[in-house]
Structure 1
């Protein structure tokens, strides 16, 4: 099979995709068509992984009971996080919308298998964390694929991973990497919400680029 030729138009479109990828917290309640979600998950499954191990394990959380428990965990952890800030900043923190758990039609819990048989251990003997890094690579691939179909993704990290793992009754060898809200966004914006609300602006690459 001949390799594809990526045109300048494609490269510009890809940059636009990256620029418009946002962490979405405000979702419409319209359902995501099952065939669309299936296509996005198959695209995400093309992501690279250490030793070709594909350590990601995906759980579609469809039970209303399980979702309600996840919301309870988030609300408790979110309040605990607010108390770590000073009075003024705590007030600003509480005004932020930090999840779309109640509105998003799709909840996707992403775990990383800590000891997958696939890959035969190649590449992870000295850096075992590459399994989780591979899972994050899959998440980012899913995120971009979803955005290309006007579907938003929000990563909810204000959760107790042990309690989530217990609620979803998954294998003890799976490590929670991300809990994702997925659905059609209420609005699109090229500027991150945390920047729009004045919480934190993005800094230039030069502040994070070093040469040795």
Structure 2
């Protein structure tokens, strides 16, 4: 699978896992892909916590279910009907969960490039997540990003130090990766046109007509 194909096929997978394990060889390749991500000031702020313990995972799932209900109560009745069909997590359905963190003190306090935009520490860990996602896709491994929890609750379960940020909680397993995003399949939303999100020179200024034509036609 080439790079563009991996980008096109990458999905946030929650519903299409087919059972089975991830070999240590494949897991190591996915983690190395994350570790090779770019980072501001070459700070490499990430740690990858592999979570297999079912008791910890059940606690995290319980947190997610509570937050799901809170979110559901905020929706209109029409949106509730759609949301009731949406699966938000696969914590217990997958052989491996991985927490990705960001340590802002690593190689600090003077990290090159981070003085004016300290958030680039977390952005760096997010880039590691995307690298992992593309690598997993190329290996036939589905990945889902769980965000229905309060960060501090999961940090306690995983014994993450106070100064370290929890950036992502991921679920991974062999999967039939769907052709379209799950939220599009369930009718929650649809992908915007590329030409709708490209500006030139300043916010809100449309791209040149010649470029818009290319944006409308481009396929990868």
TM-score, with length taken from structure 2: 0.87
Displacement after TM superposition at 1:114 (Å): 2.1
Verify: 1:203 aligned to 2:192, yes or no: yes
Verify: 1:47 aligned to 2:37, yes or no: yes
Which of 146, 149, 155 is the equivalent residue of 2:139? 149
My pick for the range that moved more, 21-30 or 145-154, is 21-30
Q: CA separation of 1:14/1:119 partners in 2, compared to 1, >3 Å: closer, same or farther?
A: farther
5+ long unaligned stretches in structure 1:
1-9
Task: Tell me the matched-pair count.
Answer: 200
Corresponding residue SS for 2:84 = helix
Which stretches of structure 1, 4 residues or more, deviate above 6 A after TM superposition?
none
Q: Is the 8 A contact 2:47 2:102 kept in 1?
A: yes
Q: CA separation of 1:53/1:209 partners in 2, compared to 1, >3 Å: closer, same or farther?
A: same
Corresponding residue SS for 1:145 = helix
- Distance in 1 of aligned mates of 2:177 and 2:150: 29
Displacement after TM superposition at 1:118 (Å): 6.1
Q: Is the 8 A contact 1:53 1:119 kept in 2?
A: no
For the aligned residues, what is the CA RMSD?
Answer: 1.4
Verify: 1:127 aligned to 2:117, yes or no: yes
Deviations 1:16-54 (Å, cap 9, x if unpaired)? 111111111122231111121012111221100000000
5+ long unaligned stretches in structure 2:
202-220
Verify: 1:68 aligned to 2:38, yes or no: no
| Residue of structure 2 equivalent to 1:181 | 171
TM-score, with length taken from structure 1: 0.90
